[in-house]
Structure 1
Amino acid sequence: MPKNEGVSRSVVRRLPRYYRFLGDLLKKDVTRISSRELAQLMQLTASQIRQDLNCFGGFGQQGYGYNVAALHKEIANIMGLNKLNGTILLGAGNLGRTIAKHMHFESSGFRLEGIFDVNPQIIGQALNGLVVQDVAGLSAFCEAHRPRAAILCIPKEVAYDCAKELMALGVNCFWNFSHYDLTLNFEGAVVENVHLGDSLMTLCYQINAYYADEEASGLSGKAK
């Protein structure tokens, strides 16, 4: 049975936030913090924090709280940040280039080992210390380097075939920007789908909710 198999996805999604907030506290030389204080910083409840951390054994002491450095390290271990997962990136267009250049892969548990594209004008260019390779060499590269994960910055129309080929090559984990939901057809894959448009539409909803009373008041005034 995989480690922490029973942990819900919502708890897992909060782990990076814990790690980030604790890292900020370390930079401010904060050595310990209570669940109540951490909850106030993160806009959660103290009970939520205790429940989340208890999924992994619990790390606080009653009357003392949490040792910030120790908890920060434990959460890094839980997420596996102490090991680097070999990773390839497919699609070196605008989005792929931005991710390759600006993501801090190694501090997030990954090592970018190869970048691939189909565009002859992009193939051969240097990007983040790597040379963009022709996707025709993908099979040989995977056989030689055995990457665990792939970042997909490719069109939706080719995502299925690309993922199918990668899984046949032993790459089963995906950070997927293609707007094609890989979980629909690849049950055995580990997938983190990233839909930037969904995030923007969520913001749109929140903006409309935020200004709803103001707009309603304006309409009411006009009606008079």
Structure 2
Amino acid sequence: MEGKKISMAVIRRMPRYYRYVSELHQNGVARISSGALAAKMGLTASQVRQDFNCFGGFGQQGYGYNVENLRSSIREILKLDNNHTAVLIGAGNLGRALMTNFKFEQSGFRLTAAFDVRPELMGGSVAGVPVLAMEELENYVQRHQPDIAILTLPRQYARDVADKLCSLGIRGIWNFTGVDLHLDGIHVPVENVHFSESLMTLSYRI
């Protein structure tokens, strides 16, 4: 929707819609009502319709949503076919776990390289992703122009590395360091991931 401001709350629900609709598609479901989709997501049918109306609406009165078309529309909204590329900074336990287990391509990204300071990791690879020396980061980013960087390095280095990446033209940061990074002043979006917040939320709920 060109020129229309979409709330961040709606944007953050779109990946959840995509995940549920993809499961329906894989299971051969052809159509679903807003009420049925809302029940799966813990929302109301009205909220589902309002969310989709932010992008023009995808349903038909009395029919609901064509699952295949809805999945394609959400995929387009989330730009999952844009062949985004990513690099990972910090090939420690968390970094290696992401490289080994996370399905980047299903989320619209291709992880092309990882960087670390430990000499014993240089020249190796994890899950087919080459691990390079941090000294090579600047040249690599300038040459390959990845879209985002994933930060899994020690927290004390997070801000300096983020600033360096932004100066090299990185377009976004997925941050697992435990330090909140806010780079709005230089127009680089950051997703700060905190596992502890999710666990503490669960603590409250139980």
Provide the TM-score with structure 2 as the length reference.
0.95
Say what the alpha-carbon RMSD is for the aligned residues. Answer: 1.6
| Partner in structure 1 of residue 9 of structure 2 | 10
Mapped contact 1:160–1:182 kept (Cα < 8 A) = yes
| Partner in structure 2 of residue 19 of structure 1 | 18
Per the alignment, do residues 106 and 76 of structure 1 end up closer, same or farther by CA in structure 2, a change over 3 Å counting?
A: same
Residue 179 (1) aligns with residue 153 (2) = no
- What SS does the aligned partner of 1:18 have? helix
| Partner in structure 2 of residue 72 of structure 1 | 71
- Cα separation, 2, equivalents of 1:134 and 1:193: 25
- Cα separation, 2, equivalents of 1:108 and 1:3: 23
Residue 114 of structure 1: how far off its partner (Å): 1.1
Residue 188 (1) aligns with residue 187 (2) = yes
- Cα separation, 2, equivalents of 1:122 and 1:100: 14
Residue 123 of structure 1: how far off its partner (Å): 2.1
5 Å-filtered alignment, 1:60-209, equals: 60-183=59-182, 187-207=186-206
- Cα separation, 2, equivalents of 1:116 and 1:24: 34
- Cα separation, 1, equivalents of 2:93 and 2:101: 12
Q: Which moved more, 1:182-191 or 1:105-114?
A: 182-191
- The alignment-based identity, stated in percent, is 48
Unaligned runs of 5+ in 2: none
Per the alignment, do residues 130 and 184 of structure 1 end up closer, same or farther by CA in structure 2, a change over 3 Å counting?
A: closer
Q: Which moved more, 1:12-21 or 1:119-128?
A: 119-128
Alignment deviations for residues 58-110 of structure 1 (CA, whole Å, 9 cap, x no partner)? 01010111101100110000000111111100000000000011111112111
The one-letter amino acid paired with 2:135 is A
Which structure has the larger Rg over C-alpha atoms? 1
- Cα separation, 2, equivalents of 1:82 and 1:123: 31
Unaligned runs of 5+ in 1: 208-224
